[in-house]
Amino acid sequence: MPLELLAGWGRTAITRTELVEPTRESVANHVRSGNSLIARGLGRGYGDCAVVAGGKTVSTRQLRSLRVDGGSIEVDAGTSLEEVMKFALPQGWFVPVTPGTRFVTVGGAIAADIHGKNHHRDGTFGSHVEWIDLLLASGEIRRLTPGDRLFWATVGGMGLTGIILSARVRMTPVETARMSTVNQQVKNVDALMDMMVRADYEWRYSVAWVDTMATKGSLGRSVLSTGEHATLSDARVKGDPLAYEPRQRLTAPGFVPSGVLNKWSVRAFNEAWFRKAPRKAKKGLESITHFFHPLDGVAEWNRIYGRNGFIQYQVVVPDSHASTVPCMIETFATRQVPVFLAVLKRFGKANDGMLSFPTTGWTLAVDIPAGVDGVAGILDEMDERVVGEGGRIYLAKDSRMNPRHLASMYPRLDEFRSVRDEVDPSRRFMSNLSQRLGL
Amino acid sequence: MIDGLGAVQDVLVVGGSSEIAHAIVAELAVKRRLRRVVLAGRSMDSTVSSMRSLMSDVDVQAMSLDLTKTGSIAATLNAGWGNGFDVVLLTAGVLPDQSRAERDPAVAVDAALVNYVGQLEAGTAAMSKFREQGRGVLVVISSVAVERPRVDNFVYGSGKVGLDYWAIGLADSVDGKAIRILVVRPGMVRTRMSRHLPEAPMTCDPSDVAKAVAKNLVRGPSTVWVPSRLRWVMATLRHLPRPIFRRLSPTGAEPSGNAADPR
């Protein structure tokens, strides 16, 4: 069987793996075949979580079916959130949680326990899952509910407990497929954080795009974006209120020389992004795509980083250490790290997922070209601080953390391991991530 | 696993007593992800303990390996492969006394076994494992001596030529991403092996070689010279007319003293 070169969305640390795309009927055969295995959806994990070098990477994309039942959907794991929305939105149902891209699968959403702009209000994707059908290393399919320990090892478990085949997910009722929004420039990070704490109470969705290249009085200047689902009483909603037609206008060129994104080009882009936003709070009516998935407008945008690829660094720090956020932004600014749009977001309470990332506090996510000198050391310093403050790194994004921080960042790691050992004692399920971190 | 920023966790060194290897390991340790270093060679115990004292958080182990005992090398490597290596360094090398090597077949063959055949066996075994595990970087320490034979070291150079030729061909046969070959051609390096010789122009330190390896480990050219300007110097020397090149080489002066043997 020929092996394919495969990496994560950041296109770093490419390895060879046997990529298979089984049907529901044949997937168990792969589990019985004896190789190391990991499931892969649409490959939007930034680092090395959905590939296993020298083993079998099992694409779930043949596992696609979907039906709406009451306020929930029963959906196969390989179905993308785009497919879910296209099907369910016209019927008045929206996904309970969406990340910044609609091109993730339901299986991946559960395995990474993804969050969105509504985490402070609605929690993670896993919090809306009623059951999971999980294919175990033994070949057995087990239906897990939130009362099972294995359920909470699987939610956020990075695919290491088995292959998620399908799930039942509670949806959010909406009257329209539009968002009633308010966007505004914020002059610096201190003002931003004050506003975001207040926005938590007022808005279901909130997020800020931060220009980490700006310095001095403009340190952490940003664009704060808040929103609610528009209702039918909103006079601005015209035409079919539930129409949802996401489009991709552009495709990134196939070859981009490394270094196109450098501190100058990134600074210019961030400047333009900031200026484009309204100076004072401005109400608007936006499409789902415009509000939630702006980057999806450019297909394969990850290629703009060139062949060196990029990493995403996403951490959460608890409220008690909120001052770490401006310090991190200042570090990026003064060390001139070319960060192309950082995202700042508040998290609500953690759920019962043993390896689930979100926990009350602030989360900052930055994209950094992988070829930039000195980045490794800067991020290592940040890790030390974050781990000392009770924060953690998001495993679905990670491609470089120091494994010795893992147990401090994820205090329920041993519990996860003991549950995993019950269902996969010989460690059939593994990924490059799990091997790198000794997970 | 090699991480997203090119940091390495598990390294196997074939030629475990080589000073260049130690410098490379130290350089790779700078990124603070090193987990396991296995030093393969003859009587590695003291080397292992001194490396352990330098890197307390790294699991340093010895693998008993004699590169002159060809035929058994692959099996030794396979047995010690464990959970795999990100990087395998072929750093063994022996610089025999040139005049002895010209007269004593045993000395010439011994040098060829260490410099070429033994490492060919080790490297071939490592490549099979890399293909199995779907990833890996093979670093081959060649020499500028491969570019043109010189009367004072052509026995040494002949082994390095074999190794270099094999490695360059290998580099072209792999994808260069998941599996990658890095061929390093240093000039004279200040080590035990060359201590007894007069210092040549552009002589460098093991740390210079190590920096070049770390810089080009996961991306960049698959052949590098250390220092890099040697590439152009050698390109010129290679094309010098023979009578002129011979006059540039020290002829009758036989090196004195015993060459160290960093197998």
Q: Which domains does chain B have, with CATH numbers?
A: 10-248 (3.40.50.720)
Q: Active site includes B165?
A: no
Which among A14, A55, A400 is the nearest to B5, CB-wise? A400
B/e letters for A336-346, b = 16+ CB within 10 Å, e = fewer, are: ebbbbbbbbbb
> Is the model's pLDDT at B259 over the cut of 60?
no
Which among B35, B57, B178 is the nearest to A5, CB-wise? B178
Residues of A in contact with B33 (CB under 8 A): 402-403
Is some CB atom of chain A closer than 8 A to the CB atom of B201? no
Asked whether the beta carbons of residue A16 and residue B35 sit closer than 8 angstroms, the reply is no
> Is the model's pLDDT at B196 over the cut of 90?
no
pLDDT at position B252 is: 41
Q: What is the mean pLDDT of residues B73-97?
A: 97
The pLDDT-based confidence of B258 (bands split at 50, 70, 90) is very low
Which among B1, B32, B175 is the nearest to A436, CB-wise? B1
A358 falls within a domain: yes
Query: Which residue in the block uniquely carries the two structure tokens 């401005």?
Result: A282
> Is the model's pLDDT at B66 over the cut of 70?
yes
Asked whether the beta carbons of residue B83 and residue A435 sit closer than 8 angstroms, the reply is yes
Residues of A in contact with B219 (CB under 8 A): 307-308, 371
pLDDT at position A100 is: 95
Quote the DSSP letter at residue B216: H
Lowest model confidence (mean pLDDT) among A130-134, A265-269, A392-396, B173-177: A265-269
Residues in chain A, overall count: 439
By three-state DSSP, how is residue A334 classified? helix
Q: Give B186 to chain A, closest Cα distance, Å.
A: 24
Q: What digits encode the pLDDT tens for the residues A50-102?
A: 999 999 999 999 999 999 999 999 999 999 999 999 999 999 999 999 999 99
Asked whether the beta carbons of residue A54 and residue B132 sit closer than 8 angstroms, the reply is yes
A318 falls within a domain: yes
Is some CB atom of chain B closer than 8 A to the CB atom of A51? no
State the total domains in chain A.
1
Q: Give B133 to chain A, closest Cα distance, Å.
A: 4
Residues of B in contact with A14 (CB under 8 A): 177-178
Is some CB atom of chain A closer than 8 A to the CB atom of B178? yes
By three-state DSSP, how is residue A433 classified? helix
Alpha-carbon separation of residue B206 from A306, B24, B40, B62 (angstroms): 32, 8, 19, 21
> Is the model's pLDDT at A38 over the cut of 50?
yes
Is some CB atom of chain B closer than 8 A to the CB atom of A370? yes
Is some CB atom of chain B closer than 8 A to the CB atom of A130? no
The pLDDT-based confidence of A261 (bands split at 50, 70, 90) is confident
Q: What is the mean pLDDT of residues A321-333?
A: 96
Asked whether the beta carbons of residue A53 and residue B135 sit closer than 8 angstroms, the reply is yes
Is some CB atom of chain A closer than 8 A to the CB atom of B32? yes
The pLDDT-based confidence of B251 (bands split at 50, 70, 90) is low
Mutation choice for B interface testing from A4, A6, A12 by most B CBs within 10 A = A12
Size of interface A-B (CB pairs under 8 A): 70
Is some CB atom of chain A closer than 8 A to the CB atom of B108? no
A251 vs A232, more confident: A232
A309 falls within a domain: yes
Nearest to A52 by CA among B178, B9, B28: B178
Is some CB atom of chain B closer than 8 A to the CB atom of A384? no
A308 falls within a domain: yes
Q: Are B157 and B103 spatial neighbours (Cβ–Cβ below 8 Å)? A: no
A142 falls within a domain: no
Q: Are A176 and A236 spatial neighbours (Cβ–Cβ below 8 Å)? A: no
A28 falls within a domain: no
Is some CB atom of chain B closer than 8 A to the CB atom of A380? yes
Is some CB atom of chain B closer than 8 A to the CB atom of A12? yes
Q: Which two tokens stand for residue B262?
A: 């960093």
How buried is residue A162: exposed, middle or buried, by Cβ count under 10 Å (0-12/13-18/19+)? buried
pLDDT at position A377 is: 95
The pLDDT-based confidence of A320 (bands split at 50, 70, 90) is very high
Residues of A in contact with B28 (CB under 8 A): none
The predicted model scores a pTM of 0.94
Q: Are A360 and A346 spatial neighbours (Cβ–Cβ below 8 Å)? A: no
> Is the model's pLDDT at B253 over the cut of 50?
no
> Is the model's pLDDT at B2 over the cut of 50?
yes
By three-state DSSP, how is residue A124 classified? coil
A375 falls within a domain: yes
* Among chain B residues, CA nearest to A57: B134
Asked whether the beta carbons of residue A376 and residue B219 sit closer than 8 angstroms, the reply is no
> Domain with A205 in it: what CATH number?
3.40.462
pLDDT at position B260 is: 45
Assign residue A239 a region: left if phi > 0, alpha if psi is -120 to 50, beta otherwise?
left
Residue A199 sits in which domain range? Answer: 178-402
Q: Are A100 and A343 spatial neighbours (Cβ–Cβ below 8 Å)? A: yes
Asked whether the beta carbons of residue A402 and residue B32 sit closer than 8 angstroms, the reply is yes
Contacts of A357 (CB under 8 A, 6+ apart): A112, A113, A115, A156, A314, A316, A392, A394, A395, A396
Residues of B in contact with A384 (CB under 8 A): none
Asked whether the beta carbons of residue A16 and residue B135 sit closer than 8 angstroms, the reply is yes
Q: Are B103 and B54 spatial neighbours (Cβ–Cβ below 8 Å)? A: no
Q: Are B27 and B243 spatial neighbours (Cβ–Cβ below 8 Å)? A: no
Asked whether the beta carbons of residue A436 and residue B9 sit closer than 8 angstroms, the reply is yes
> Is the model's pLDDT at A3 over the cut of 90?
no
Is some CB atom of chain A closer than 8 A to the CB atom of B211? no
Q: Are B178 and A15 spatial neighbours (Cβ–Cβ below 8 Å)? A: yes
Highest mean pLDDT among A227-236, A384-393, B252-261: A384-393
Q: Give B127 to chain A, closest Cα distance, Å.
A: 13
Q: What digits encode the pLDDT tens for the residues B203-237?
A: 999 999 999 999 999 999 999 999 999 999 999 99
Is some CB atom of chain A closer than 8 A to the CB atom of B209? no
Asked whether the beta carbons of residue A12 and residue B5 sit closer than 8 angstroms, the reply is yes
Q: How high is the mean pLDDT of chain A?
A: 94
A150 vs A294, more confident: A150
> Is the model's pLDDT at A434 over the cut of 70?
yes
A23 falls within a domain: no
Q: What digits encode the pLDDT tens for the residues B90-140?
A: 999 999 999 999 999 999 999 999 999 999 999 999 999 999 999 999 999
Q: What is the mean pLDDT of residues A121-128?
A: 98
> Is the model's pLDDT at A296 over the cut of 90?
no
Asked whether the beta carbons of residue B1 and residue A55 sit closer than 8 angstroms, the reply is no
Assign residue B25 a region: left if phi > 0, alpha if psi is -120 to 50, beta otherwise?
alpha
Asked whether the beta carbons of residue A375 and residue B5 sit closer than 8 angstroms, the reply is yes
Q: Give A408 to chain B, closest Cα distance, Å.
A: 17
Alpha-carbon separation of residue A286 from A204, A238, A291, A379 (angstroms): 15, 12, 6, 36
Q: Where are the strands (E) in chain B, listed by range?
A: 10-14, 36-41, 59-64, 87-90, 136-141, 179-186, 223-226
* Among chain A residues, CA nearest to B132: A54
The active-site residue, picked from B156, B184, B185, B194, is B156
